[in-house]
Amino acid sequence: MQLISKYDGLKTIESIGLPRPNWKFIKVSDAFPSKPWAVSLYGWTIRSLSTSTYDYAIPSKHNVSYETIKYNLDEMYRGSGYVDYVVYPSWRFNISGCLMIDNPIAVLEAVFGDISSLLRGRKNPDITVFDNSVRFISKLSEYRINNSLDRIIVHQISSAFRVLTDFGFNRISLEWTLTLDKEFFFHDLAAF
């Protein structure tokens, strides 16, 4: 099974019940809700969405006020041409990372803080857990005990690992974050 776009990845996160931000999918031409659908202490995130391909490093804005979202959507559309977006409450990063599975290998890489430095190769991972996919969960649990990795991360990654491999994906890249407020979210999925 293959997900062909960022939109497909986010919809899969949603449909299989993984923890995720309280997002809404918006087209630039849509009427934007006049009132927020969630509490947001740190503003709002707007991410461009490709619906026909899986694009990387596409435009996004973070920590914008609710009142300026529609303006920002229009500005992003004029600058990029994307018509589909996902909007959700922003957060403050504690630990963020990526679970990558290429059967039979599984790797978790994480950094303290914002994930963008890891994804763009500007920072080496602060945490790396690597093993074959059969032993990965026990290795992750062992790492938690020996290195004080937050148990929320171990629980959520282990659950997602099982669900996604049972779902029939052989190659997976799943981005996640544990916020400073101890909320855990999955916020991007590519699967092939």
The CATH number of the domain holding residue 110 is: 3.30.470.20
pLDDT digits (tens, 9 = 90+) for 60-82: 999 999 999 999 999 999 988 88
Strand ranges, E, within the chain: 24-27, 44-49, 60-64, 84-89, 93-102, 105-112, 127-132, 171-179, 184-191
Same domain? For 60 and 107 the reply is no
Domain closes at, from 67, 89, 111: 89
Q: Is residue 27 domain-resident?
A: yes
Identify whether residues 119 and 69 lie together within a single domain: no
- Tell me, yes or no, whether 79 and 163 share the same domain: no
Q: Which candidate, 89, 111, 102, 85, places its Cα nearest to that of 176? A: 111
pTM of the model: 0.89
Judge if 84 and 114 occupy the same domain.
Answer: no
Query: Residue 165: which pLDDT band, with cuts at 50, 70 and 90?
Result: confident
User: Of 89, 121, 141, which residue constitutes the final position of a domain?
Assistant: 89
Same domain, 159 and 97: yes
pLDDT tens column, 5-25:
899 999 999 999 999 999 999
Do 36 and 107 fall into the same domain?
no
In a domain, 74, yes or no: yes
Which two three-digit tokens encode residue 91? 């957060």
Does some domain include residue 10? Answer: no
Could you tell me if 19 and 184 are in contact, meaning their C-beta atoms sit under 8 angstroms apart? yes
- What's the confidence (pLDDT) of residue 164? 83
- DSSP class of residue 66 equals G
Owning domain of residue 102: 93-191
- Nearest residue to 109 (alpha-carbon basis) of 93, 95, 122, 127: 127
The 10s digit of each residue's pLDDT in 32-55 is 899 999 999 999 999 999 888 777
In a domain, 48, yes or no: yes
